[in-house]
């Protein structure tokens, strides 16, 4: 395999791995900020307990999130030096802004959350949690602004073979930044919501820690319901933006070969790139046109309008996209079921629902990965849509070196993920706060499991 | 003063900040097997780093981001050119992060994670100096600004020496920090090691200066032209003297400040010698400078505004967090 392919696989692998941790951090930080807020306002020890518990899980998650993030910042330079030279005038600034405004904020204040509970006032604890939440969400904004610039470049001109900034605001707020940011943030809150409801459901099923499980489930449920429903709109809005700004990408993930009006929304198809058609199609007539244009007769550009070498791969995108949407709808349905149960006072007691919540924890993770696959593979063969091909952007490294690091990352990350799961499972299974909170807080071992961040 | 020069200074400030702050994290990690002999001591030492290490590491991320934004051609050439070495640093940093956070959760593998913490600190502490040595001495570049050497070319004696200088400086920084944040046995060990590290650093630094006169004479050109920049090596030596005196008088905080000053002084000394070059090439015509490797004036200006808005805030709340956790690690209510 050549340097280009290996570098692409490595970047895909390392960013997919990073994104196993990021959404949970973004969402959970917000939940914890709310819990700390409630504790500050009410001084009810339940909120304190909840905040402490979920912060322990956040800590396990945060560590690998940070560690795997450095990999990505380095990789633009290590493996994509020609990309960095071409876009550095524009792409570097949001990354630096991410560091200055967001990384410092989250990484500094998390120290207070993890170690400083008893040294700062409840208000400062809330403030610290709020800063961590703000930092993670801001971080998402900046990196998505940069990544969106790759998709829909704006605010630049080409000078001397490089992209040169003409307007920072236009570059940052390019046509896809806001849709992609909102879509990703919603996905993060959904991930955190299902994580929290799932674990809370687990406790309720086991009849343990009900005092924190009930309010946790309710809080997370509100986020889950809100954002799974909102996501339908945000996803739709994002797809419309893709239709207008990256027509080849939309054509690929909709397996739309011909430019036509009244384009059907394909629910299933078997794309045949060699003959530039689908050998099988099952779809809703006119619905793709309707989704994109609000008019069932609207024209959708087909893949055949683009030269074959400028088309992204169709089958992976088509199926990944459909599956992502399916999973998203599934999550919304689960939340709607919960809403129905809440109206009947059974949100925290219907065991079938609780089981579904528990087993649904991984679903947002899968959906997110699929989404990233669609957006990044859908951008191929471009690394900057319409300006620079991925093939032109790679560093001239010996393939053997890249193979070495790729193998190293794979092994390393698999082991890390295993440790992560092990620690998460143990933290959740071992956690049991007895009836008397005050007594527990005096004891150095809060759980049956060895506890770090323990109160002495 | 041009924007390019301003950004040269800012990038160096970020790197100096990283050296001073994550320097003590790395230093403690390198000294870990000697400072802490039993579990209680290990937990105390990790707790001494606990609230700070993550924020400290961000200085590297932001420094890298600023380098990318202000001097993308340097970022591209150095990061791809030093590929395997940088990847080693990266793996080490990941290892370190996981070791610190998981050591007391994954108790079955305590010893393994202790080793991971040590190695994850040793490798970067050594390799950062090696990287600096290479860009200062000169690396082979081709016409496309790509590195034309191999991994082993990077391990030349000059760069290895600078690597050792950096290592000694980080060890001293870690030792003085450990003196501030611990007491009893750990404190005593740190004090003794600090003393030895001081002598090692002075010796290695003098050797490196001599060797530079042979291998990297171009670094002295600015000093001849503009003697006022001797203030940087002066600061460096003032820092070293202060550290020495403070170590002897058991003044941990003063020693740490002195060590920090000498570290910052080292970065400044090297930077002043390299200016306006950021990467020397074996063929000087191919040097990457703050002019030929930078971003456009608009980008530099925009970035400057971002820095002016963001950095003072960062310093403020960073200082606050250090203040909250003042005192000995053994006395912290929450720990690893």
Handedness of CA A177, A313, A72, B138 (dihedral sign): negative
Nearest neighbour of B65 by CB, restricted to A99, A108, A419: A99
Q: What is the reported pLDDT for A323?
A: 97
Question: Residue A449 pLDDT > 70, yes or no?
Answer: no
Nearest neighbour of B106 by CB, restricted to A105, A111, A419: A419
B61/A70 Cβ within 8 A = yes
Nearest CA in chain B to A114: B51
Nearest neighbour of A67 by CB, restricted to B52, B75, B98: B98
B47/A115 Cβ within 8 A = yes
Question: Residue A102 pLDDT > 80, yes or no?
Answer: yes
Nearest to B24 by CA among B165, B250, B131, B175: B175
Nearest neighbour of A95 by CB, restricted to B47, B68, B333: B68
A168/B295 Cβ within 8 A = no
Longest dimension (CA), chain B: 60
Nearest to B167 by CA among B196, B135, B138, B137: B196
Q: Which residues of B touch A156 (CB under 8 A)?
A: none
Q: What is the reported pLDDT for B165?
A: 98
HSE of A423 in the Cβ direction (CA atoms, 13 Å)?
28
A101/B310 Cβ within 8 A = yes
Nearest neighbour of B98 by CB, restricted to A64, A408, A454: A64
Helix (H) or strand (E) holding B258: helix B252-274
Residue A282 C-alpha, separation from nearest chain B C-alpha, in angstroms: 47
Residue B76: partners with Cβ closer than 8 Å, 6 or more residues away: A77, A81, A82, A84, A85, A88, A395, B145
Residue A310 C-alpha, separation from nearest chain B C-alpha, in angstroms: 27
Q: Is the link from the previous residue into B276 a cis peptide, with omega within 30 of 0?
A: yes
Between A182 and A436, the more confident residue is A182
Q: What is the reported pLDDT for B330?
A: 83
Nearest neighbour of A67 by CB, restricted to B58, B97, B105: B97
- Per-residue pLDDT band for A10 (boundaries 50, 70, 90) equals very high
- Phi then psi for A272, rounded to 5 degrees? -125, 85
B102/A164 Cβ within 8 A = no
**Per-residue pLDDT averaged across A51-55, rounded?**
95
Whether B146 contacts B79, CB under 8 Å: no
- Per-residue pLDDT band for A439 (boundaries 50, 70, 90) equals very low
A412/B299 Cβ within 8 A = no
A419/B98 Cβ within 8 A = yes
B78/A59 Cβ within 8 A = no
Low-confidence ranges of chain B (pLDDT < 70): none
Mutation for testing the B interface, residue in A100, A128, A397, A404 having most B CBs under 10 Å: A100
**Per-residue pLDDT averaged across A123-141, rounded?**
97
Q: Which residues of A touch B104 (CB under 8 A)?
A: 450, 452
Whether B23 contacts B174, CB under 8 Å: yes
The DSSP result for B159-211, as a single string, is: HHHHHHHHHHHHHHHHHHHHHHH--HHHHHHHHHHHHHHHHHHHHHHHHHHHH
Q: Which residues of A touch B98 (CB under 8 A)?
A: 63-64, 67, 416, 419
Q: Which residues of B touch A63 (CB under 8 A)?
A: 97-98, 100-102
Q: What is the reported pLDDT for A437?
A: 40
A454/B334 Cβ within 8 A = yes
Beta bridge partners of A261: A299
Residue B221 C-alpha, separation from nearest chain A C-alpha, in angstroms: 29
Mean pLDDT of chain A: 93
Residue A65 C-alpha, separation from nearest chain B C-alpha, in angstroms: 10
**Per-residue pLDDT averaged across A121-145, rounded?**
97
A103/B62 Cβ within 8 A = yes
Question: Residue A442 pLDDT > 50, yes or no?
Answer: no
ipTM of the modeled complex: 0.94
Distance CA B52, CA B22 (A): 9
A168/B298 Cβ within 8 A = yes
pLDDT digits (tens, 9 = 90+) for B60-91: 999 999 999 999 999 999 999 999 999 999 99
B101/A70 Cβ within 8 A = no
Nearest CA in chain B to A416: B98
In the block, residue with structure tokens 């992209």: A163
B98/A404 Cβ within 8 A = no
Q: Is the link from the previous residue into A265 a cis peptide, with omega within 30 of 0?
A: no
- Token pair of B329, please? 């690690």
Nearest CA in chain B to A131: B317
Q: What is the reported pLDDT for B319?
A: 96
Nearest CA in chain A to B144: A82
Nearest neighbour of A423 by CB, restricted to B84, B105, B144: B105
Q: Burial level of A186, CB count in 10 A (0-12/13-18/19+)?
A: buried
A88/B76 Cβ within 8 A = yes
Nearest CA in chain A to B71: A88
pLDDT digits (tens, 9 = 90+) for A329-388: 999 999 999 999 999 999 999 999 999 999 999 999 999 999 999 999 999 999 999 999
Please state the separation of Cα A213 from the chain's center in Å.
Answer: 25
- Per-residue pLDDT band for A456 (boundaries 50, 70, 90) equals very low
Q: Which residues of A touch B302 (CB under 8 A)?
A: 93, 165, 168
A397/B80 Cβ within 8 A = yes
Q: What is the reported pLDDT for B237?
A: 98
Nearest CA in chain B to A158: B296
Distance CA B294, CA B4 (A): 7
B306/A100 Cβ within 8 A = yes
Q: Which residues of B touch A76 (CB under 8 A)?
A: 68, 75, 79
**Helix A22-42 / helix A210-245 crossing angle, nearest 10 deg:** 130
Nearest to A152 by CA among A250, A292, A42: A250
Q: Which residues of A touch B60 (CB under 8 A)?
A: 70
A59/B101 Cβ within 8 A = yes
B303/A96 Cβ within 8 A = yes
Beta bridge partners of B139: B281
pLDDT digits (tens, 9 = 90+) for B131-158: 999 999 999 999 999 999 999 999 999 9
Percent of chain A with pLDDT over 90: 91
Q: What is the 3-state secondary structure (H, E, C) of A236-272?
A: HHHHHHHHHHCHHHHHHHCCCCCCEECCCEEEEEEEE
CA angle A291, A294, A298 (to 5 degrees): 90
Whether B320 contacts A116, CB under 8 Å: no
CB pairs under 8 A between A and B: 246
Nearest neighbour of B91 by CB, restricted to A63, A78, A408: A408
Distance CA A73, CA A78 (A): 9
- Per-residue pLDDT band for A450 (boundaries 50, 70, 90) equals very low
Residue B9: partners with Cβ closer than 8 Å, 6 or more residues away: B271
- Token pair of A302, please? 């087909």
Nearest neighbour of A100 by CB, restricted to B76, B314, B336: B314
Question: Residue A430 pLDDT > 50, yes or no?
Answer: yes
B47/A408 Cβ within 8 A = no
**Per-residue pLDDT averaged across A143-170, rounded?**
97
Q: Burial level of B184, CB count in 10 A (0-12/13-18/19+)?
A: exposed
Distance CA A266, CA B221 (A): 69
């Amino acid at each position: 395999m050549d340097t280009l392919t290996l570098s692409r696989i490595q970047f895909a692998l390392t960013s997919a791995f990073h994104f196993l941790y990021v959404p949970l951090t973004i969402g959970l930080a917000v939940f914890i900020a709310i819990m700390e807020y409630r504790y500050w306002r009410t001084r009810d020890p339940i909120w304190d307990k909840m905040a402490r518990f979920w912060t322990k899980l956040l800590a396990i998650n945060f560590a690998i999130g940070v560690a795997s993030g450095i990999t990505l910042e380095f990789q633009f330079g290590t493996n994509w030096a020609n990309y960095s030279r071409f876009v550095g005038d524009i792409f570097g600034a949001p990354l630096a802004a991410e560091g200055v405004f967001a990384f410092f904020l989250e990484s500094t204040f998390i120290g207070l959350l993890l170690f400083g509970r008893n040294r700062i006032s409840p208000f400062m604890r809330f403030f610290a949690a709020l800063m961590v939440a703000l930092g993670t969400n801001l971080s998402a904004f900046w990196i998505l602004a940069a990544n969106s610039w790759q998709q829909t470049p704006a605010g630049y001109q080409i000078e001397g073979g490089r992209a040169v900034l003409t307007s920072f605001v236009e570059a940052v707020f390019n046509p896809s930044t806001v849709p992609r940011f909102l879509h990703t943030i919603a996905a993060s809150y959904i991930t955190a919501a299902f994580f929290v409801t799932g674990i809370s459901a687990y406790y309720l099923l086991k009849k343990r820690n009900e005092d924190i499980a009930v309010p946790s489930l309710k809080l997370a449920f509100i986020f889950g319901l809100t954002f799974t429903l909102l996501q339908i709109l945000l996803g739709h809005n994002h797809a419309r933006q893709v239709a207008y700004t990256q027509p080849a990408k939309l054509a690929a993930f909709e397996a739309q070969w011909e430019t036509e009006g009244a384009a059907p929304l394909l629910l299933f198809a078997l794309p045949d790139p060699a003959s530039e058609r689908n050998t099988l199609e099952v779809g809703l007539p006119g619905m793709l046109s309707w989704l994109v244009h609000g008019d069932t007769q609207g024209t959708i550009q087909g893949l055949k309008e683009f030269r074959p070498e400028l088309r992204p791969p169709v089958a992976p995108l088509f199926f990944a996209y459909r599956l992502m949407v399916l999973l998203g709808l599934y999550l919304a349905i689960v939340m709607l079921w919960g809403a129905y149960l809440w109206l009947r006072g059974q949100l925290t007691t219907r065991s079938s629902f609780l089981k579904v919540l528990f087993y649904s924890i991984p679903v947002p993770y899968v959906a997110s990965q699929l989404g990233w696959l669609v957006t990044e593979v859908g951008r191929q063969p471009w690394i900057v849509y319409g300006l620079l091909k991925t093939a032109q952007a790679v560093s001239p490294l010996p393939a053997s070196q890249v193979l070495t690091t790729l193998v190293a990352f794979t092994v390393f990350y698999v082991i890390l993920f295993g440790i992560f799961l092990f620690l998460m499972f143990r933290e959740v299974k071992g956690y049991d706060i007895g009836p008397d909170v005050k007594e527990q807080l005096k004891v150095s071992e809060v759980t049956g499991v060895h506890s770090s961040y323990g109160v002495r | 003063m041009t924007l390019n020069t301003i950004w040269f200074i800012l990038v160096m400030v970020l790197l100096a900040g990283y050296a001073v702050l994550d320097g003590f994290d790395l230093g403690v990690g390198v000294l870990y097997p000697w400072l802490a002999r039993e579990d209680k001591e290990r937990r105390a030492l990790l707790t001494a780093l606990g609230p700070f290490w993550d924020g400290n590491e961000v200085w590297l991320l932001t420094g890298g981001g600023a380098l990318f934004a202000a001097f993308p051609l340097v970022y591209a050439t150095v990061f791809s050119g030093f590929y395997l070495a940088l990847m080693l640093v990266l793996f080490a940093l990941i290892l370190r992060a996981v070791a610190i956070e998981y050591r007391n959760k994954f108790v079955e593998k305590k010893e393994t994670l202790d080793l991971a913490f040590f190695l994850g600190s040793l490798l970067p502490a050594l390799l950062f100096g090696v990287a600096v040595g290479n860009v200062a001495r000169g690396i082979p570049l081709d016409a496309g600004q790509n590195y034309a050497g191999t991994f082993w070319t990077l391990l030349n004696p000059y760069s290895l020496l600078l690597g050792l200088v950096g290592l000694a400086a980080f060890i001293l920084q870690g030792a003085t920090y450990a003196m501030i944040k611990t007491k009893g046995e750990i404190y005593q060990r740190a004090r003794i090691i600090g003393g030895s590290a001081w002598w090692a650093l002075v010796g290695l630094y003098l050797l490196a200066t001599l060797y530079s006169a042979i291998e990297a004479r171009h670094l002295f050109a600015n000093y001849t032209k503009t003697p006022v920049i001797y203030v940087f090596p002066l600061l460096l030596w003032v820092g070293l003297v202060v550290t020495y005196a403070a170590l002897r008088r058991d003044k941990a905080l003063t020693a740490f400040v002195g060590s920090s000053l000498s570290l910052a002084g080292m970065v400044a000394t090297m930077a002043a010698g390299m200016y306006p070059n950021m990467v020397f090439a074996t063929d000087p015509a191919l040097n990457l400078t703050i002019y030929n490797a930078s971003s456009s004036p608009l980008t530099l200006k925009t970035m400057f505004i971002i820095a002016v808005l963001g950095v003072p805030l960062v310093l403020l709340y960073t200082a606050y967090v250090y203040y909250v956790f003042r005192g000995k690690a053994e006395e912290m209510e929450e720990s690893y």
